[in-house]
């Protein structure tokens, strides 16, 4: 067997492990093993690459490659190990951005390398697409990171004629690609690079608030496609397979997320959602009566219930109260109260984020139920307790066609006998919209920090 | 052009197989799915190694070097953080205190 065939076989093995990893994610039981298998497959591919011949010689600059890997690894490992789980969306945004940047750089370097040999037009096209998509992903992820990390406002940033300007920038990029295809000019490649950067920033600026997570899935998919484009250029099936898998996964998640918000993808990307609502939310504060209760009342209510559905939102994680919530749930279970955690698909700051935050607090995954199941459980529940969630239980999404979140599937907390709402203040949520549920006669509000309130509840339930 | 056709075949088949597999991932694991697939596109490291390994000019060396750093960040960070997340997903511990297993069954 020739050296090249052996290496290609190892690449095939590696591509297979990626599929195994994704298949493993079908259940929490096998997910971790799958991920480790893929990591091993990746290692095999990397080691095999060291033995590959390019341009008829073995790899040059092996020392430089190892040095660069070392630098990358010593930055990546501590970051990945110690970052807070609440900061996961930012971290995914960064790792996604650097992947896009790497794909773009690979395409550029390859273009510079093969330029003198007058490559076929389709090769140049692959390179240019790789540069365009990779750079948009890099720049877009950087802005998304800044928004999530609150280095800049998380709200949409709009200016007059924004859509038209973006469209013009996009068209210029296409025109540039065509010109480069015809002329093969390197200086124009740098212009395309700069323009792609501008396009990535301009594309992401008007997307804000609850839409950023959808954006990240989309950018994830972009990076995948950029990697696939590099795969075409370098003639690597491995890169094509891996890139396409990620592209497919990103697009699928993007669609799921948009659906979970009851909106179309184009509406998410182009409507600057949330910028207008803040204004109406701020002055729509006519005083309406709400019913408020003390932790003592609620503690008794919970202790004598037979089924309780907890509806956590990102506010829970903000006040670091997941552990206390789990403690409360365990106390209730010890009193033979059935307890579920109802997780909305967009709870948290990225798809499935809330599940991770609760798993971190040792909540067993059997207790985490998805929206549809939650809504059927709620019909027979005595208490629905909303902790740090808001928009995901807002009945306006179901019955107020004028509401901006109208059409979003929600968890129907109001189906339960009683609704308890733990809330810091009357301030509206991530999407900036007032919540009808607060004024429902079934609803009891407990004001205060979620962690304080839950700690008091634990004490009351323990005593009763 | 034959090569191009072969690559396109791989791309299209992968897109369909990938969509089928990924559609089966429950929403509880969507965050690990994102970070896990994130790690997988870190395979661009292989491409970065190849361009740096064949670099003929200083410009290519600099660009390739940067590409390897970024790609390593992507691949290492992606797998480590996904593993850390998946480790946290645990089933309910059996209530009976008699069994002292760590729940680490294969």
What pLDDT score was predicted for residue A431?
58
| Whole-structure pTM value | 0.89
Measure the CA–CA gap between B67 and B24, rounded to whole angstroms: 33
What percent of chain A stands above pLDDT 90? Answer: 67
Measure the CA–CA gap between B91 and A29, rounded to whole angstroms: 8
* pLDDT confidence tier of residue B104, bands split at 50, 70 and 90: very low
* pLDDT confidence tier of residue B103, bands split at 50, 70 and 90: very low
Domain extents for chain A?
A: 1-82, 89-275, 290-463
Query: Least CB-CB distance to B86: which of A31, A68, A252?
Result: A31
Task: Tell me: pLDDT of A208 over 50.
Answer: yes
State how many domains chain B has: 1
| Chain A residue with Cα closest to B74 | A95
Q: Please indicate whether, in this complex, the C-beta atoms of A59 and B38 are within 8 angstroms of each other.
A: no
Query: How far apart are the two ends of chain B, measured CA to CA in Å?
Result: 47
The mean pLDDT value for A214-227 works out to 94
- The backbone region for A312, taken as left when phi is positive above 0, alpha when psi lies in -120 to 50, beta otherwise, is beta
Q: How many whole angstroms from its chain centre is CA A112?
A: 34
Answer yes or no: is B8 within a domain.
no
Task: Tell me: pLDDT of B96 over 90.
Answer: no
In terms of residue numbers, what domain contains B68?
Answer: 38-87
The mean pLDDT value for B63-92 works out to 96
**What are the tens digits of pLDDT across the range A313-347?**
988 988 899 999 999 999 999 999 999 999 998 88
CATH of A290-463, one of 3.40.50.1220, 3.40.50.620, 1.20.1050.40, 3.50.30.50: 3.40.50.1220
**In what helix (H) or strand (E) does residue A94 lie, and over which residues does it extend?**
helix A88-114
**What are the tens digits of pLDDT across the range A373-422?**
999 999 999 999 999 888 889 998 888 888 888 888 999 999 999 999 99
User: Which string of DSSP letters, residue by residue, matches A343-367?
Assistant: E-TT-SSSTTHHHHHHHHTT--GGG
What ipTM, to 2 d.p.? 0.89
Number of other CB atoms surrounding residue A431 within 10 Å: 24
Q: Please indicate whether, in this complex, the C-beta atoms of A49 and B46 are within 8 angstroms of each other.
A: yes
Strands A57-58 and A368-370: unpaired
What pLDDT score was predicted for residue A399?
87
What pLDDT score was predicted for residue B18?
93
What pLDDT score was predicted for residue B95?
59
In the predicted model, what is the mean pLDDT of chain A?
Answer: 90
Measure the CA–CA gap between A348 and A316, rounded to whole angstroms: 9
**What are the tens digits of pLDDT across the range A20-55?**
999 999 999 999 999 999 999 999 999 999 999 988
- Residue A206 C-alpha, separation from nearest chain B C-alpha, in angstroms: 23
CA distances to A18, A90, A306 from A93, in Å: 21, 5, 42
B27-49 in b/e burial notation, b at 16+ Cβ within 10 A?
A: bbbbbbbbbbbbbbbbbbbbbbb
**What are the tens digits of pLDDT across the range A112-151?**
998 878 888 888 999 999 999 999 999 999 999 999 998 9
What pLDDT score was predicted for residue A346?
84
Q: Please indicate whether, in this complex, the C-beta atoms of A113 and B25 are within 8 angstroms of each other.
A: no
What percent of chain A stands above pLDDT 70? Answer: 95
Q: Please indicate whether, in this complex, the C-beta atoms of B38 and A355 are within 8 angstroms of each other.
A: no
**In what helix (H) or strand (E) does residue A431 lie, and over which residues does it extend?**
none
Q: Which of residues 436-455 of A touch B (CB under 8 A)?
A: none
What pLDDT score was predicted for residue A285?
45
The mean pLDDT value for B29-36 works out to 95
On whether the CB atoms of residues B63 and A105 are closer than 8 A, the answer is yes
């Amino acid at each position: 067997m020739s050296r090249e065939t052996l290496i290609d076989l190892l690449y095939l093995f590696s591509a297979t492990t990626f599929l195994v990893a994704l298949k493993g994610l079908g259940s929490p039981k096998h997910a971790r093993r799958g991920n480790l298998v893929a990591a091993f497959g990746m290692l095999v591919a990397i080691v095999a690459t060291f033995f590959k011949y390019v341009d008829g010689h073995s790899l040059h600059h092996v020392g430089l490659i190892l040095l660069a890997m070392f630098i990358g690894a010593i930055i990546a490992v501590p970051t990945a190990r110690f970052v807070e789980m609440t900061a996961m969306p930012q971290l995914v945004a960064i790792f996604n951005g650097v992947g896009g940047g790497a794909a773009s750089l690979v395409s550029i370097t390859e273009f510079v390398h093969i330029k003198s040999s007058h490559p076929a037009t389709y090769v140049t096209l692959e390179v240019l697409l790789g540069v365009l998509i990779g750079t948009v992903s890099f720049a877009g992820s950087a802005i998304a990171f800044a928004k999530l990390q609150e280095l800049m406002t998380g709200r949409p940033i709009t200016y007059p004629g924004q859509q038209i300007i973006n469209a013009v920038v996009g068209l210029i990029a296409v025109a540039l690609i065509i010109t480069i295809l015809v002329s093969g000019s390197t200086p124009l490649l740098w212009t395309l690079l700069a323009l792609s950067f501008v396009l990535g920033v301009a594309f992401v600026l008007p997307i804000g608030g609850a839409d950023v997570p959808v954006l990240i899935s989309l950018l994830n998919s972009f990076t995948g496609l950029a990697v696939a484009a590099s795969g075409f250029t370098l003639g690597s099936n491995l890169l094509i397979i891996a890139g396409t898998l990620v592209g497919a996964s990103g697009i699928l998640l993007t669609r799921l997320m948009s659906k979970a918000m009851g909106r179309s993808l184009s509406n998410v990307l182009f409507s600057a959602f949330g910028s207008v609502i803040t204004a109406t939310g701020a002055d729509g504060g006519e005083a309406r009566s709400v019913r408020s209760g003390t932790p003592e009342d609620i503690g008794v209510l919970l202790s004598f219930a037979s089924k309780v559905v907890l509806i956590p939102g990102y506010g829970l994680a903000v006040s670091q109260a997941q552990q206390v919530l789990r403690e409360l749930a365990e106390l209730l279970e010890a009193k033979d109260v059935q307890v579920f955690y109802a997780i909305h698909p967009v709870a948290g700051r990225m798809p499935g984020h809330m599940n991770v935050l609760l798993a971190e607090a040792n909540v067993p995954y059997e207790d985490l139920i998805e929206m549809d199941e939650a809504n059927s459980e709620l019909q027979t529940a005595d208490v629905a307790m909303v902790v740090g969630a808001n928009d995901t239980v807002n009945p306006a999404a179901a019955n107020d066609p004028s509401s901006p979140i109208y059409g979003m599937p929600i968890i129907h907390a109001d189906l339960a006998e009683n609704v308890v709402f733990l809330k810091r203040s009357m301030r509206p949520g991530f999407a900036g919209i007032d919540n009808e549920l607060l004024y429902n006669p079934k609803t009891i509000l407990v004001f205060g920090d979620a962690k304080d309130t839950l700690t008091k509840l634990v004490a009351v339930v323990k005593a009763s | 052009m034959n090569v191009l056709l072969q690559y396109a075949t791989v791309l299209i088949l992968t897109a369909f197989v990938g969509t089928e597999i990924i559609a089966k991932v429950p929403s509880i694991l969507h965050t690990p799915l994102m970070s896990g697939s994130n790690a997988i596109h870190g395979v661009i490291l292989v491409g970065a190694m190849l361009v740096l390994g064949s670099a003929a000019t200083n410009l290519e060396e600099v660009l390739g070097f940067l590409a390897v750093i970024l790609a390593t960040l992507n691949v290492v960070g992606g797998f480590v953080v996904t593993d850390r997340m998946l480790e946290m997903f645990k089933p309910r511990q059996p209530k009976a205190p008699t069994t002292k297993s760590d729940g680490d069954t294969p």
